[in-house]
Amino acid sequence: MIDRRQFVSSSIAGLTAAALGPGRAEAADFAGRIIEFVIPFKEGGGSDTWGRFNAPFLSRYLPGQPTVVVRNVPGGNSIAGANRYAARARPDGLSVLGTSASTQFPFLMDDPRVDYDYKDWRVLMAYGTGGVCYVSSDLGIRDSSELANLGDREMLYGSQGPTSLDLVPVLGFELLGINVRPIFGMSGRGAGRLAFERRETQIDYQTSTAYLRNVVPLVEAGDAVALFSWGALDEDGRLVRDPTFPDLPHFGEAYELVHGRPPSGIGWESWFAFFTAGFPAQKLLVAPRETPDDIVMAYQHAVETMKQDPDYITRKLAALGTYDQVTGRAAQTMYELATNVPLEARTWVKDWLRREFRVNLET
C-alpha cells in the first residue's frame, strides 16, 4: 500500500501554515539588464502561457525593472531545454527556468536522457494547476457519464511521450477502460491541441491555463465536449473537484461513473501519486543552487508584490485559474511534492510502461 496521503496531507498543512512573503531585498539590482525566462516547450501550451503571463510582472517588480524575455527551448518533452539550462545557466539571476511536470517526471523515472538534477536548483516560485480532459463532439457523447457508450471505439491522443506529464492521462485512460491509442512525439500540449482541432485525434487534455485560453472557445462552439478535470487536493490530501472547474467531475468521480465503484488498487494508487507530483505542484521557477540569497529574495519579493497588483488580480483568473503562485517555505513544500514519488509507485509505473509501450527505463 502506497502511503501517499499522509505525506500529501502533511505537506498541504505545511503549505497552509507557511509564511509566503520574504522581506524586501535591496542588494540585487537588475537595472538595464535582460533576464531570460526559459520555457523548455514550444509556444502555445500551458507552460508557455504561464511564463508569458508572469514575465511582464517580474519585469515590473524585480529591482531595476529589467526586461524579462520568455525564451522557448523545446525538444525531448522539455528534457532538451532543461539539460541545456543545467549545463549553461549562471547563478546571477539573469536566466531562470520554468519547469513543468513533464520536466519532473523523466527525472523521477530515471529517464536516461536526463542530465539535470533538481537538487542543483533553488526554487524561486511554485505554482499548482489542474487539467481538463475533453473529446470531439463527433463522438456523440455529452459528458463523462456516457464514456461507457464508446465501447471499443478507438480514440487517438496526441502525446508528448510516456514519461512526460502525459503519463497521468494515458494511465488514467487505461484505468477508465476506454480504448485510447497515444500517438507519441508531440512537441508540447499545444501541438496536441492543434492535432485535435485538425480532427487528427479525438481525445485530448490541456492544463488549466491552456484550457481556459484555447479550449473553452471550442466547447462553446460545440466542437469539443468537456468530460472531467483531474481534480485537486483538499487539506487532508483527498481528491476533490478542481475549484477552477467546479461543475466538472474529478477523475475519481469519472471512474466511479464508468465502473460503478470507487477507484482502488495499485494502479489507482500509482496514478494518484503521479497526479500529486504532476498537478498540485506542477510548475516551478528555478535558478542554479549557487544563486545568492539576495537574488533569490529579490525574485520572491517580486512575486509577492506582483500578486497585489490590480492588473495581476484582474487578469489572473482568466489566464491561470484559481491556483496561487507561492514563494518561500510554501514553494519548497510544493517542490517536495513534485520531486518525491514513492518507490512502489515508480516501480509499478515502470513495469506498466515496459509492458504497454516497450519503454525500458533504468531501475
Question: Domain span at residue 112?
Answer: 5-128+280-343
Does residue 363 sit within a domain? Answer: no
Does residue 353 sit within a domain? Answer: no
The helix (run of H) or strand (run of E) holding residue 68 is strand 67-72
Q: Is the same domain home to 240 and 155? A: yes
Q: Is the same domain home to 82 and 156? A: no
Predicted pLDDT of residue 1: 60
Among 248, 277, 306, the domain boundary falls at 277
Does residue 222 sit within a domain? Answer: yes
Q: Which pTM value belongs to this model?
A: 0.80
Q: Is the same domain home to 288 and 327? A: yes
Q: Is the same domain home to 136 and 123? A: no
Grid coordinates in use for 333? 513544500
Q: Is the same domain home to 207 and 234? A: yes
Does residue 115 sit within a domain? Answer: yes
Does residue 162 sit within a domain? Answer: yes
| Residue 152 contacts residue 228 (beta carbons within 8 Å) | no
Does residue 351 sit within a domain? Answer: no
Q: Is the same domain home to 150 and 271? A: yes
Give the count of beta carbons closer than 10 Å to the beta carbon of residue 316: 20
Q: Is the same domain home to 188 and 253? A: yes
Q: Is the same domain home to 173 and 97? A: no
Q: What is the pLDDT of residues 200-210, one digit of tens each?
A: 999 999 999 88
Among 256, 277, 298, the domain boundary falls at 277
Does residue 271 sit within a domain? Answer: yes
DSSP 3-state assignment of 79? helix
| Tally of domains within the chain | 2
State the burial class of residue 253 (Cβ atoms within 10 Å of its Cβ: 0-12, 13-18, 19+).
Answer: buried
Does residue 354 sit within a domain? Answer: no
Predicted pLDDT of residue 361: 78
Q: Is the same domain home to 273 and 136? A: yes
Q: How many CA atoms lie within 13 A of 88 on its CB side?
A: 12
| Residue 134 contacts residue 180 (beta carbons within 8 Å) | no
The number of angstroms, rounded, from the C-alpha of 344 to the middle of its chain's C-alpha atoms is: 22
Q: Is the same domain home to 28 and 141? A: no
Predicted pLDDT of residue 77: 83
Predicted pLDDT of residue 215: 97
Q: Is the same domain home to 154 and 264? A: yes
Q: Give the CATH number of the domain where residue 202 resides.
A: 3.40.190.10
Q: Which ranges constitute the DSSP H helices of 198-284?
A: 208-210, 216-220, 251-259, 266-278
| Residue 41 contacts residue 188 (beta carbons within 8 Å) | yes
Q: Give the CATH number of the domain where residue 90 resides.
A: 3.40.190.150
Q: What is the pLDDT of residues 9-47, one digit of tens each?
A: 666 666 655 544 444 445 799 999 999 999 999 998 889
Q: Is the same domain home to 288 and 199? A: no
Digit-by-digit pLDDT tens for the chain (363 residues) are 666 666 666 666 666 555 444 444 457 999 999 999 999 999 988 899 999 999 999 999 999 999 999 999 999 889 999 999 999 999 999 999 999 988 999 999 888 999 999 999 999 999 989 999 999 999 999 999 998 888 889 999 999 888 888 999 999 999 999 999 999 989 888 899 999 999 999 999 999 988 999 999 999 999 999 999 999 988 788 899 999 999 999 999 999 999 999 999 999 999 999 999 899 888 999 999 999 999 999 999 999 999 999 999 999 998 888 889 999 998 998 888 888 899 999 999 999 999 999 888 764
- Cα distance between residue 321 and residue 244, in whole Å: 6
Predicted pLDDT of residue 236: 83
DSSP string covering 318-347 = HHH-SPPEE-HHHHHHHHHHHT---HHHHH
